[in-house]
Amino acid sequence: GENVEQHPSTLSVQEGDSAVIKCTYSDSASNYFPWYKQELGKRPQLIIDIRSNVGEKKDQRIAVTLNKTAKHFSLHITETQPEDSAVYFCAALGGGTYKYIFGTGTRLKVLA
Amino acid sequence: GAVVSQHPSWVICKSGTSVKIECRSLDFQATTMFWYRQFPKQSLMLMATSNEGSKATYEQGVEKDKFLINHASLTLSTLTVTSAHPEDSSFYICSASQGMGQPQHFGDGTRLSIL
């Protein structure tokens, strides 16, 4: 079955710097890759997503890149702010399925 | 848009009690709803997938008689933790999707504490 690996597990950056989180998936049929941000005790919130027919997508300070050949995708946050501090989860959705396979999460700390 | 409401947000009850958690999609019809369990500092673990009007599909290791799921309409799914015990204490989160390949939108979660 599908397996999603996420790195790093924790990441500390200075305010204003960039943060990059990487995920690798195993199922080449996976075709949808969302990223969620979860603050402590709250719901995961969809922040950006990408489908397999696109290589890159950007929304203001957040971007996601997808390399289908290597089966990995990355979240890029530029000009980080303290409010970006949270746990970020990547996920992969296999073709013909409803189920997400989540990564293990990255705890991002933005230091003021 | 795509708002999912989950209630209650916090439950504290005695061992042996059954607890029902509701998940509603407020502004869209959810073909499929999902129930997750999340332990502190861990990822979301899928418990079951439910489609409106049919039986839920449970993940391996999840007891279907312990965690009863009902998806009676396109906007409502319920999870009942039957005869809850302290080891059932966790953060339970539902999500809803409009269809295959569509994003999942999450509820606020329910923190369940069994004494």
- Cβ separation of A49 and B42 shorter than 8 Å? no
Q: How confident is the model at residue A15, as a pLDDT? A: 97
Interchain contact, B32 vs A49, CB within 8 Å: no
Lowest mean pLDDT among A3-12, A83-92, B71-80, B86-95: B71-80
Is the per-residue pLDDT at A1 higher than 90?
no
Minimal Cβ distance to B108: which of A43, A105, A107: A43
Burial class (CB in 10 A: 0-12, 13-18, 19+), A46: middle
* Cβ-nearest to A89 among B43, B103, B107: B43
Question: What is the chain B residue with the closest CA to A10?
Answer: B41
Predicted local confidence at residue A64, as pLDDT: 98
A36 min Cα distance to partner chain B (Å): 10
What is the residue-wise DSSP string for A65-97?
Answer: EEETTTTEEEEEE-S--GGG-EEEEEEEE-TT-
pLDDT above 90 for A54: no
At A7-50, the pLDDT tens digits run: 999 999 999 999 999 999 999 889 999 999 999 889 999 999 99
Mean pLDDT, range A44-57, rounded to an integer: 92
Determine, for residues B43 and A43 on separate chains, whether the beta-carbon distance falls below 8 Å: no
The pLDDT of residue A111 = 95
Q: What is the mean pLDDT of chain A?
A: 94
Q: Determine what percent of chain A is predicted with pLDDT higher than 70.
A: 99
If you write DSSP's letter for every residue of B54-103 in order, what string do you get? SPPEEPTT--TTTEEEEEEETTEEEEEETT--GGG-EEEEEEEESSTTSP
pLDDT band at B108 (very low <50, low <70, confident <90, very high): very high
Mean pLDDT of all residues in A98-111: 94
* pLDDT at residue B35, as a whole number: 97
Whether B105 has its CB under 8 Å from any CB of chain A: the answer is yes
Q: What is the mean pLDDT of residues A62-82?
A: 96
Chain A CA closest to residue B97 = A98
For residues A58-76, give the mean pLDDT. Answer: 96
Q: What is the pLDDT of residues B13-23, one digit of tens each?
A: 999 999 999 99
Q: Which residue has the higher pLDDT, B40 or A19?
A: A19
Distance from CA of B42 to the nearest CA of A (A): 7
Q: What is the mean pLDDT of chain B?
A: 92
**By the CB < 8 Å criterion, does B77 face chain A?**
no
